Amino acid sequence: MRIAFIPLCLLLCLGAWPARGLALDLPPMLAQRAPDDPDPAAYWVSEKLDGVRARWDGRILRFRNGEPVVVPDWFVAPLPAGVVLDGELWLGRRRFDELSGLVRRLRVDDARWRQVRYMLFELPGADGDFSARLHALQALAARIEAPWVEVVPQQRLVDRAALRTLYRQVLDGGGEGLVLHRADARWQPGRSPALLKLTPFLDEEAEVIAHVPGRGRLQGRLGALRVRDDQGRVFSVGSGFSDAQRMDPPAVGARITFRYRERTPRGVPRFPVFVRERSLP
């Protein structure tokens, strides 16, 4: 395998941003919920991948929480030094649990890592609008020439009917939904109205702060998780768990994904349902 060497001046011309430690200093750019039936004309549209988000900080591949990913050396060897990349570790549709088990391991399973792809979708901190950053990312990935490093496919759609058709195709095929990124948007940290997610349910993450014991038929097992979301709201998630998960629930401090349909006037999710544990070592 040939390891690509990309001169810094070329990366600057492409719009890439030298790391200088910024990968850990800058919060990620996060998507907001899309309004009903959005007009896609101003956006690049891609599938919402159900993977594990990972950022290359120019030296080390890290989870969203900043912890390093235990990864084979060959997997990261082609990634450019000094350049921050954001992407998703991905095995394919409906394979999140398998992927999560793999990336949690403290010892590398080389054969299983051969199936993983690093799907790039952003150059954090880079100049230019998203169209420019996307083109720079595609040029960079082409120079890397590693088959497991790809750019998430993006497309422009002419109208709402085309968006609805693509959305239904993705859901029918086992996908989670779509992501819409304004073509003219500059990169910004935090949750941004320039980045939208279109899914059948609302989904968010929260931190587990306590276990609520079960009662009745759940005596001796988990009744609910007490959680705190990123806005500081505290509530309970009591449904969506298997019997095995109630016997061995996510630990205090873990991050979980939950789904819901709407919020109360106080901003608390109505009827939140546990989906999976998202925290990683």
State the greatest distance between any 2 C-alpha atoms of the chain, in Å, as a whole number. 66
Token reading at 38: 């959005």
Which residue of the set 14, 23, 43, 48 is catalytic? 48
The answer to whether 145 and 4 have CB atoms below 8 angstroms apart is yes
Across the beta sheet with 61-63, what order do the strands follow?
61-63, 52-56, 85-90, 117-122, 149-151
Tokens of 217: 């038929």
Q: Is 48 a catalytic residue?
A: yes
C-beta separation of 186 from 122 below 8 A: no
CA-nearest of 279, 272, 275, 276 to 235 is 272
* Angle at alpha carbon of residue 193, lines to 27 and 272, rounded to 5°: 80
What is the arrangement of strands in the sheet containing 29-33, beginning at the earlier edge strand? 29-33, 190-198, 178-182, 43-47
Euclidean distance between CA atoms 182 and 157, whole angstroms: 12
Provide the 3-class DSSP secondary structure of residue 177: coil
SS3 92: coil
Helix (H) or strand (E) holding 142: helix 130-144
Indicate which residues carry an active-site annotation. 48
